[in-house]
Structure 1
Amino acid sequence: MKKIIFTVLAFLCLGFALNCSSVPVKNSQIQREWMLISFENYTKEDLIKNNAKIDLTSTIENGKIKGNAFMGCNRMFFSSEFKANGKMKISGIAGTEMMCQNIKLEDDFSKSFKNMTNYKVEGHFLRLTDDQGHSMKFIAADWD
């Protein structure tokens, strides 16, 4: 009888252990769609006209948010890690390669974006910066 109870308890404990996974929790402060409003010498009007944005609403895999960026023509795909200390890492950048009128914006964005190492959320704004002080500023698309 003790052996049966022990076996049942062992299976129950194993079942609980397997069901308790570390499912990533959505970070509503970061996991949003962000519209680019300030970047290098581009005007806010140019960025808005090209619908320049990053989308971080995708799923989390291995602690990384799968995201994409759009600068008006091509779509870029990437993985991003946002740490609690304000540090971030962008990796695995790939994308479509169509000829576009705004190819300079896309090239400039992609070269700068991969070097961003810091982030700060201030209300409905997201600022990304690299180690040389270059920055990108976004506004949450769902902000009214």
Structure 2
Amino acid sequence: MNLSKLMVIFLLALLSACSLTEPMPADASSYKSSLPQELEKTDAKLILNDIWALESILGEKAVLEEVIQRPQLEIQLRDMKLIGNDGCNGFFANIDYLDNEKILLGPIAGTRMFCHPMDVPDRFNQQLNNVKSYQLKGLKLRFFDSEGEELLQFQKID
């Protein structure tokens, strides 16, 4: 009997702890969610952690018919690595520094196969070596040099 009284008291305490401090409106018209503000606090760098396909080099649409596969890169923030394919060869690099604007890559290494033609892979690699900053806008990732000139533009594909 004593145990059942304790159980009733516990359940009443639990229910009172779960009560609303403000009554919920009958419709959602006056309900304010904090979710949009919380989403805005999300670290912009986290969006980088994905796979990106090349769209343009130095503002010119990449001629993708000339490559074995579409150049792409994957940014792995957990390991601070950049891996990908330039259209012919695989490559990888460490990400030495990253904030919400700047990205500094370590030396880029990769395979050395020859594909014909090599124009897109060569231009891609040359510009990737000059990357100093980035910008995310929607599903687009743009890499810039130290002067702020756009080097490479990617589309999020994953």
Structure 1 distance, partners of 2:136, 2:112, is 31
Q: Please list every run of 5 or more consecutive structure 2 residues that lacks an aligned counterpart in the other structure.
A: 1-42
Structure 1 residue 73 and structure 2 residue 82: aligned?
Answer: no
Answer yes or no: is the 8 Å Cα contact 1:72–1:102 preserved in 2. Answer: no
Q: Please list every run of 5 or more consecutive structure 1 residues that lacks an aligned counterpart in the other structure.
A: 1-24
TM-score between both structures, scaled by the size of structure 2: 0.61
Q: Which residue of 2 aligns with 1:7?
A: none
Answer yes or no: is the 8 Å Cα contact 1:36–1:48 preserved in 2. Answer: no
Answer yes or no: is the 8 Å Cα contact 2:50–2:75 preserved in 1. Answer: yes
Structure 2 distance, partners of 1:103, 1:58, is 29
Question: Percentage identity across aligned positions?
Answer: 22
Structure 2 distance, partners of 1:118, 1:41, is 16
Structure 1 residue 87 and structure 2 residue 93: aligned?
Answer: no
Hey, which bits of structure 1, 4+ residues long, moved more than 6 A? none
Query: Which one of the candidate residues 67, 71, 88 is aligned to 1:52?
Result: 71
- Structure 1, residues 67-116: CA drift from partner, whole Å, max 9, x if none? 212122211111123213x0110112101001111422212111111111
Closer, same or farther: CA 41–87 of 1 in aligned 2, 3 Å: closer
TM-score between both structures, scaled by the size of structure 1: 0.67
User: May I ask how many residue pairs the two structures share in their alignment?
Assistant: 112
Structure 1 distance, partners of 2:64, 2:55, is 9
Alignment of 1:77-116 (within 5 A): 77-80=92-95, 81-84=97-100, 86-116=101-131
Q: Which residue of 2 aligns with 1:135?
A: 151
Answer yes or no: is the 8 Å Cα contact 1:37–1:47 preserved in 2. Answer: no
Structure 2 distance, partners of 1:73, 1:128, is 21
Opposite residue 87 of structure 1, the aligned amino acid is K
After TM superposition, give the deviation of residue 45 of structure 1 in Å: 5.0
Closer, same or farther: CA 67–59 of 1 in aligned 2, 3 Å: same
Bigger radius of gyration: 2
